A = this chain, B = another copy of it.
Amino acid sequence: MPRLKLTLAYTGTRFAGLQIQPGCRTVQGEVEAVLARMLNGPVRIDMAARTDSGVHALGQVVHLDVPESKMRIPWRKAINALLPDDVCVTEVEVVPPEFHSRFSATSKVYAYTIWSELEFILPQRKPFVWRMAGLNQTAMDKAMQHFVGRHDFKSFQNVGTPIRDTRRTVARFWREPGQTQWETVYRIQADGFLKQMVRNIIGCLVAVGRGKLCPNDIPALIAVRDRSLAPPTAPSRGLCLERIFFDVKADSTGSRPDEEELDEGD
């Protein structure tokens, strides 16, 4: 059966996260319900990254196999016609059968937006930012560099997660101006993310910006491998899964990781 890769965008505000959960409205649940209608039967999709309740996406990826007979459907148009307002499919591609939304992902980019004005937030931007005024940007810039590279990020993983290998490689961690004069976007690219890793790193970065930690405290916080010693998690609304990079060939040559070791995502 041909395999389709779907790229999804959504606002996480009204979702109880991405993964299907009984009695909760989830991205996976909404997308699977639409696909089930189109394919006349239950469908289970696999997501590249598990995003928590409230987290947004511009470039989430899922894949599914569809019967050859359904390939004449104008997929993108048809799915979008049935999806609710807060999730859409921006791209549909036919991919080789060895493509897997989770196993073939080589790196992901998350963006976290901080709103710097204390007294107001533009209503247009409120669902997408975390308000945190008066941060020391110079200290934060120094702190960011300590996260780059291959590290054991256990201190930045949600407690109780059953992942054994907590080492990940952060390729880039940089900031850019946001959509308005009051926003700064922190982007982080890594080969994988532990559960709530981005939000925990941002929580730590903000602690540095507020003078509660020094940039040079970061290496020790990483080395201690203890979540309870790191600053609190940043709220989900500032986070957006922007892009996922894939390498199907890497996957098809046998480098597929142990399934138990897969990221929970952020």
Q: Is the interface of A mostly helix, strand, loop or mixed?
A: mixed
8 A Cβ contacts from A113-145 to B: 118-124, 126, 128
A76→B9 contact, CB < 8 A: no
CB nearest neighbor in B for A92? B119
Measured CB to CB, the nearest residue on chain B to A74 is B119
Asked whether any CB of chain B lies closer than 8 Å to the CB of A103, the reply is no
Q: Which of A59-97 contact B (CB under 8 A)?
A: 76-77, 80, 85-90
Is A120 touching B76 in the complex (CB atoms < 8 A)?
yes
Q: Does residue A11 face the partner (Cβ distance < 8 Å to B)?
A: yes
In-complex Cβ contact of A88 among B9, B87, B123 (8 A): B123
Instruction: Kindly provide the distance from the CB of A180 to the nearest chain B CB, expressed in whole angstroms.
Output: 9
B123 pairs with A86, CB closer than 8 A? yes
- Complex Cα distance, B119 from A197, in Å, reads 34
A110 within 8 A of B: no
Cβ-defined contact, B86 with A56, below 8 A: no
Contact in complex: B11, A88 (CB < 8 Å): no
* Interface 0/1 of A4-16, CB less than 8 Å to B: 0000011100000
For the complex, what is the distance from the CA of A11 to the CA of B127, rounded to whole Å?
A: 12
Asked if B80 and A119 sit within 8 Å, CB to CB, the answer is yes
Chain B hits for A241, CB < 8 A: none
Inter-subunit contact A120/B80 (CB<8 Å): yes
Closest 10 CB pairs of A and B: A88-B120, A86-B123, A11-B123, A80-B120, A77-B119, A9-B122, A76-B119, A80-B119, A11-B124, A10-B123
Q: Could you list some 26 contacts between A and B, CB below 8 A?
A: A9-B120, A9-B122, A9-B123, A9-B124, A10-B123, A11-B123, A11-B124, A56-B124, A58-B122, A76-B119, A77-B118, A77-B119, A80-B119, A80-B120, A85-B126, A86-B123, A87-B123, A88-B120, A88-B121, A88-B122, A88-B123, A89-B120, A90-B120, A90-B122, A124-B128, A179-B179
Q: A85-B123, A88-B121 are in contact. List 8 more A-B contacts (CB 8 A).
A: A9-B123, A11-B123, A77-B119, A85-B126, A87-B123, A88-B120, A89-B120, A90-B120
